[in-house]
Structure 1
Amino acid sequence: MSRHHLSPLAAAIAFSLCAHAVHAEQANTAKTKEKDAAIELQQLDINAQGVRGQATTEGTKSYTTGVVNSSTKLPMSLRETPQSVSVITRQRMEDQGMGNLNDVVKNTTGLSVQKYGPERQRYVARGFTVDNIMYDGLPMSVSTYSQDVITAADTAMFDRIEIVRGATGLMQGAGNPSAAINMVRKRPTITPQLSVGASAGSWDRYRTELDASGALNETGTIRGRIVTAYEDNGTYLDQGGSEHGVLYAISELDLTESTMLTLGSSYQNDNKDSDWGGLPTARDGSDLDLPRSTYLGNDWAYWNTSTTHLFGELDHRFDNDWKLHLAGDKMWGRINMLGSYLGYDNNGLQQSSGKYTYVNDYDSYDGYVSGPFALLGRTHELVVGASNRKEIFDGHGGWLNTPTGPNIDPKNWDSGMVPEPSFDMRRWGMKFEAEQKGVYATTRLNIADPLKVILGGRLDWYDHDGGTPQSSYKVTRNVTRYAGVIYDLNETYSVYASYTDIFKPQTNLDPSYSILEPMTGTNYEFGIKGEYLDGALNASAAFFQINQENRAKLLDKATYCPTPTYATNFNCYEAAGEVESKGIDLELTGALTENWQLSAGYTYVEAKYKKDSNKANEGKLFDPDQPRHLFKLSTTYHLPGDLNKWRVGGSLNSQNAIYNEGGAGAAAWRIEQDAYTLVDLMLGYKVAENVDTRVNFNNVFDKKYYSGIGSTANVLYGEPRNAMFSVKWTL
């Protein structure tokens, strides 16, 4: 396996940065410190962190935040936002040992992870796949192929992750009406800070982290931060292992008292001895009761990815309290993989293999102005902006049947018995470019002291060039709408109602050889929110209904689309399919007491076909391997009195039974996963003022369960019981 050791270089740079910052701080006079405080207030204002509280969660030791803006770009508290929003804070990520985005999604109210390969997953919410991932508010769509390239981001570089559930078209334009995940990066600090962490755990898993931040000049007008993390992991499987490294650097420069420039970059590299596919069931889908350590791939398999970001922001505050924000993020994604997958044929269980290389580049740009305006004797808020994002994908590779003999015995397999094959990398190829341009506006109208109305709209132009007429299409002037009403019942509770929508282009053809109109997803939601202890504790209860319409519905198979250019006929479709999702969201996050942090959430969702080309599907579950009931709880308690150096905590994730099925007649199969609950525990001890230790026990009761039920030849078991010990030194 190719190894790329990033941490020594990053450590040297980070220690140098910290030393510079410490020296600068020691040289500051009292006058400079006063200037630093003013700069901090300025930075707080530029980043729209609000009046009642700040958005940054680092250092707050809290499980909630004061301000979010992922739904409308208006800085609002959770109570003021007329949608279901969850925030995974820096403290919670550390308490639960969330190392990457997969861990975050697993522990987020209303979201789940579906594995359909050792290194392949999709996130789902409210019945639909989540295909909008954002970095600091800049969206990057996740397509069928790009999800293989864009590896799960390491959490070391994020302050918090905000998740807005439902349709989020106002901010993203195209996508599913499921959720948007906004990963908010850490920012430089004026006060010097340095932390070094190390972890060791089951199966020879090791991780180191380093985070250094501070002012780079005596006045504090230039600030920088570097974060690096490195992992060398074994595995509970009979074969495999992985190496992972991330390096993140960011700087801020105050060009004037009112203008700040931010520049940054990140690089994440993952080298994994992982296979393409998972494990088999019996032909009918019943469990083969294989050991969780079973590996039916080959010792030459690998799955290597890298993701590079270069980003920048310009913030300017005008004298009339209006602000300008310009942002851009350019991403380069790469994957090189070689692996095998299983399948049943007439002879039994067979193995095939493939080798692929993908290039996935993404540009995302956004700019807006925001500020107050007066109307009818009241002050209101307005945001007006424009965005552009472009994706370029170029993939090629080849596949073949690996000569492993007529049958594979899952209980008697040697991963070294098959020599590494050679492939014709020209056998398969795909290229496409997709670009979306949009303009948008949002306003929050202060109708009365207890009543606020939020209205928004967006206009999008979408162009997808796949190289052929049947894979190229355009969407012109698509209109997206947003409306929300929030009424304060008293100082603690508010009720709200909202309407949001989103569109998703599709490639199917109708009988006139035209691309179908985009799918439209509408989200209706109403609920109640509560804010306690001056925002330290937030609660919400929501009812929602989502309808995704214009889904491609297959016409009679005897009818074919005309093909004036190509000899091959294509099936005809009409935009008549529909899926409806209904449910409830309950969530409580924040401080119950000064020493007790809690996050608890319950979601019920039922997504069913209302219209489909297969009449038998109508009324059935849309995606039965998505859980309908999800309950997630995490908590940390600092012991009182003489035991205050100790803290205890844990988490609980529970879901109902799920299934997946396919085939017909004698070839029919059904894979079932019973309801299960996973329990994790945490014990922490503060050895000294600047030294903290923690041990996380995961899957304490060693529950055996499927983490993915893709097909009879591709199921995956979740991790067995394991532990991770961590120590962190902070300057």
Structure 2
Amino acid sequence: MMPARHGPVPFSTALKLHRAFRLKTTSSALGLALAMPFAAQVQAQEIEFDIRAQALPGALQAFGRQAGVEVLYSQDTVQGKNSKAVKGKMQPGQALTQLLGGTGIAYSLQGNVITLTAPASGGALELGVTNINGLANNPTTEGSGSYTSGPMSTATKLSLSQRETPQSTTVITRQRMDDQAMVTLEDAIRATPGVTLQKFTAARPLIYSRGFQVDNLMYDGLPTIYDGDFLPSPDLAMFDRIEVVRGANGLTQGSGNPSAAINLVRKRPTRDPQVSITGSAGSWDNYRTELDAGSALTESGNVRGRMVASYNDKQSFRDVESTEASLLYGITEFDLSDSTMLTVGGSYQNDNNNTSWGGLPVSPIDGSDLGFSRSTYLGNKWEYYDKESKSVFTEINHELDHGWNLRLAAMKTWTTLDNLGSFVRFRANNWEQRTLKQHSTFEQSTYDAFASGPFQMLGREHELVVGGSWRKSVKDTAGGYANIPTDPFNFDPGATPKPSSFSVMPFATSTDIDQKGLYVTTRLNIADPLKVILGARVDWYQFDQDLANGAPAILANNNYKVQRNITRYAGVIYDLDDNHSVYASYTDIFQPQVELASDRSTLKPITGENYEVGIKGEYFDKTLNASAALYQIDQVGRATEVSPCVSGDAICYAASGKVRTQGIDLEFNGAITPNWQVGGGYTYAETRFNSGPQEGGTFDPDLPRHVFKLNTNYRLPGDLEKWRVGGAVYSQNGIFNKDGAAYMEQSGYTLVDLMTSYQVNKNLLTQFSLNNVFDKTYYEGLASYRIGGRSVYGAPRNFTVSAKYTF
């Protein structure tokens, strides 16, 4: 039997395949190709096939894995088609003919590569190679029509399937983004199991996982600091998929919280011309346009490019509030040789938000809801919260000898925030608008280099990754405050003039963070069913900050270093059978902090440790993934305010002891039948103080403990096959916050969304989405204290209609 290929697709192979298949074929020749047997070296072998009837892309992937061949085809060739079931021992040609039965698709073979084409009505047909499938290692989700994906490297730098990764993982594919009409990262977070979103204004999102805030985002595997106050929420038009690994991820990220690694994987260029235009309209004058175009830029295809642009102009269910957002993304790939590829690209995103700095206040007496409607806007017409982000990136991938690969990558981003906004608070027995004027610049640079490949030891082949990274960020912020008397119960957004000065505690900060790290990961093939993953990372971290806000020097050490911090990774995976694996893993991460104790010593870095055991399954030729996990996270050393200080200052800090999260993670993603895709899960997370004066208390009570998320999409059978229907459910338990005797709470709630789409023809797809069908009133962010706390409503019932035309 010819063995299936594993590991990354060699770039030189892809290049040679493209050159080999730049040919023209008449319809008669295609018919002959279907009748001809496979080349002798393939046809002579009989292989045991077991492929269920399903959507054709998934069946072709299963065929390629089982036959050990590569399958190339265009999007239009397989779109909307289903396969026949194939089961039994037979020659690959017989199996493929049976699998394609009734589709009208022809195939041709050259070497070990199969090309599929649809019979032409006459004349010549040029074969377009837009997909390389049939391999378990193809990670691209665009065009797959699936809620599952190929391998990912977010957790360890090793290219592993989700089943092979000993942590809880989720991949939001391009198909799922489109089905749920996701526009920004916030939309994707709402659909991702084990991750929750909070908002403190329309332009200030916070992301949490397993009880802790997500403070890093990764782009194509390069980590960057994420702060929703300063950075625009990434527009999803430029991404192929979102990979999420929950828990501590210090091995690939360096410093951060033990929450989750979120890796945004960009779309790549295509060799064949590909253009799509999408337009949508929705509630509250929500208009959006997207343009996506890719093609080879040279006749040989050794230079390829892609451009994505979007523009979104929308009002809001809140009075006055509006947003204008635009994106421009470009990427080019250069084949420098058969073994070397250079990638360069950049993006620009500009979000102009006419919105306030905060949401709605609660009762200053007991923290109860004051009854404001969802449309209430307690800001002024002159307020804004504008964010601009520019980035450039480059990458070199080089094939070395003996199956080894080298990757060098770099990214630099420049972000600017301009904010003039307010929130209403109760102070000194009076209501006032706390108004902030702020200008910030945030510059980040990330560099990463690693080599990966196989090695032999004790008669078995193992895998190794060795690399290093450097992250540097500089953030400068300046501004001031003004307090304006107001009456929130008789408020007019156009009545208050813009303040002429901001003299109350003006501030300016400059923060410089420099982090360098070296890492190594290995996957040891102990036995056929048993794999062990070991990893380690050493980091050098330096923090420098200049403050000019009148804060006592006792609060922070403005020049802080962490030398040779060691991060560890260990995982064991045991295959129970062809479909199930059990695993156990330990991961950790560190988070430096600058706060000083009362004796003026710097608090040690916070450490976060993730312990996890679970089981994972792959079903229906790996088109459906399912997992169940139990986990525990211990975070030790978080700074908390204490008073009085030994030194006599009003505030100083001490380590808070241990915070522990314990939980359950259940998830499923993929195809149940050829026409039925599902994705969702249930997560439980209980985070409490595990030691110290608050032992047993809830650590962050406004984060839900129980969350259920489900998305499903079904293509109707027979004459109705052009129609798809689907929907989504989000449900969580009640949450609360306490401020002294005051108690702010929100009851549990469930949201339901519905969608339907119609494939007018092979070029035009239309879709209708209805969100919050039952018009549930709920908060996306709950006030955390009664005097100045503010809550933010989620969106009422709303709709979007869209049309996508693909050339």
Q: TM (normalized to structure 2)?
A: 0.81
For these two proteins, the number of residue pairs brought into alignment is 678
CA contact (8 A) 1:559 1:571 kept: no
Alignment of 1:379-390 (within 5 A): 379-390=461-472
Alignment of 1:586-605 (within 5 A): 586-605=666-685
- 1:535-557 per-residue CA deviation (whole Å, 9 max, x = no partner) reads 11000000000000122355662
Q: Does 1:450 align with 2:534?
A: no
In structure 2, which of residues 392, 397, 402 is the aligned counterpart of residue 315 of structure 1?
A: 397
Alignment of 1:506-655 (within 5 A): 506-552=593-639, 557-560=644-647, 569=649, 571-575=651-655, 577-612=657-692, 615=693, 617-655=694-732
CA contact (8 A) 2:286 2:313 kept: yes
- 1:666-712 per-residue CA deviation (whole Å, 9 max, x = no partner) reads xx321111000000000111111110000110000000011111344
Partner residue, 2:8: none
CA contact (8 A) 1:205 1:231 kept: yes
CA contact (8 A) 2:424 2:488 kept: no
Q: Does 1:205 align with 2:292?
A: no
Partner residue, 1:141: 225
Question: How many Å apart are 1:571 and its aligned residue?
Answer: 4.6
Pair 1:258–1:95, CA change in 2 (3 A): same
Alignment of 1:245-324 (within 5 A): 245-283=326-364, 284-324=366-406
Q: Does 1:65 align with 2:152?
A: no
CA contact (8 A) 2:645 2:652 kept: no
CA distance in 2, matches of 1:230, 1:551: 41
In structure 1, which of residues 78, 85, 93 is the aligned counterpart of residue 162 of structure 2?
A: 78
Alignment of 1:27-66 (within 5 A): 29-30=23-24, 51-66=135-150
CA contact (8 A) 1:647 1:684 kept: yes
| Secondary structure of residue in 2 paired with 1:418 | coil
Alignment of 1:178-257 (within 5 A): 178-257=259-338
CA contact (8 A) 1:440 1:457 kept: yes
Partner residue, 2:236: 155
Q: Does 1:709 align with 2:782?
A: yes
Higher Rg:
2
Question: How many Å apart are 1:576 and its aligned residue?
Answer: 5.3
CA contact (8 A) 1:115 1:710 kept: no
CA distance in 1, matches of 2:314, 2:419: 19
CA distance in 2, matches of 1:555, 1:117: 30
Partner residue, 2:494: 416
In structure 1, what residue type is equivalent to 2:684? Answer: Y
CA distance in 1, matches of 2:527, 2:426: 66
- Once the two structures are overlaid, the 10-residue window that deviates more, 709-718 or 375-384, is 709-718
Q: Does 1:397 align with 2:479?
A: yes
CA distance in 2, matches of 1:597, 1:28: 34
CA distance in 2, matches of 1:365, 1:693: 41
Of structures 1 and 2, the one scoring higher in RCO (CA 8 A, sep 6+) is 1
CA contact (8 A) 1:326 1:366 kept: yes
- 1:439-463 per-residue CA deviation (whole Å, 9 max, x = no partner) reads 0000000000000000000000000
| Secondary structure of residue in 2 paired with 1:94 | helix
Pair 1:288–1:261, CA change in 2 (3 A): same
In structure 1, what residue type is equivalent to 2:529? Answer: P
Percent identical? 52
CA distance in 2, matches of 1:377, 1:30: 47
Partner residue, 2:585: 498
CA distance in 1, matches of 2:590, 2:625: 31
| Secondary structure of residue in 2 paired with 1:219 | coil
CA contact (8 A) 2:599 2:646 kept: no
Which consecutive unaligned segments of at least 5 residues does structure 1 have? 1-23, 42-46, 562-568
Pair 1:445–1:49, CA change in 2 (3 A): farther
| Secondary structure of residue in 2 paired with 1:315 | strand
Question: How many Å apart are 1:354 and its aligned residue?
Answer: 1.4
Question: How many Å apart are 1:244 and its aligned residue?
Answer: 0.5
| Secondary structure of residue in 1 paired with 2:498 | coil
| Secondary structure of residue in 1 paired with 2:462 | strand
Partner residue, 1:13: none
In structure 1, what residue type is equivalent to 2:208? Answer: V
CA distance in 2, matches of 1:463, 1:221: 42
Partner residue, 1:564: none
CA distance in 1, matches of 2:638, 2:422: 33
CA contact (8 A) 1:28 1:218 kept: no
| Secondary structure of residue in 1 paired with 2:252 | helix
Q: Does 1:430 align with 2:509?
A: yes
| Secondary structure of residue in 2 paired with 1:285 | coil
CA contact (8 A) 1:282 1:288 kept: yes
Partner residue, 1:325: 407
Question: How many Å apart are 1:132 and its aligned residue?
Answer: 1.4
CA contact (8 A) 1:49 1:56 kept: no
CA contact (8 A) 1:238 1:295 kept: yes
Pair 1:670–1:159, CA change in 2 (3 A): same
- Once the two structures are overlaid, the 10-residue window that deviates more, 232-241 or 420-429, is 420-429
CA distance in 1, matches of 2:747, 2:559: 42
- Once the two structures are overlaid, the 10-residue window that deviates more, 319-328 or 51-60, is 51-60
Partner residue, 1:17: none
CA distance in 1, matches of 2:639, 2:657: 6
Partner residue, 1:729: 805
| Secondary structure of residue in 1 paired with 2:562 | strand
CA distance in 1, matches of 2:758, 2:135: 34
CA distance in 2, matches of 1:434, 1:112: 27
In structure 2, what residue type is equivalent to 1:378? Answer: R
Question: How many Å apart are 1:533 and its aligned residue?
Answer: 1.7
Question: How many Å apart are 1:291 and its aligned residue?
Answer: 1.4
- 1:168-208 per-residue CA deviation (whole Å, 9 max, x = no partner) reads 00001100001011000000011211100000011111000
Q: Does 1:342 align with 2:418?
A: no
Pair 1:28–1:497, CA change in 2 (3 A): closer
CA distance in 1, matches of 2:435, 2:643: 35
CA contact (8 A) 1:268 1:307 kept: yes
Partner residue, 2:12: none
Pair 1:507–1:50, CA change in 2 (3 A): farther
Q: TM (normalized to structure 1)?
A: 0.90
CA distance in 2, matches of 1:130, 1:107: 16
Query: Aligned-pair RMSD on alpha carbons?
Result: 2.3
CA distance in 2, matches of 1:647, 1:555: 58
In structure 2, what residue type is equivalent to 1:443? Answer: T
Question: How many Å apart are 1:534 and its aligned residue?
Answer: 2.0
CA contact (8 A) 2:431 2:485 kept: no
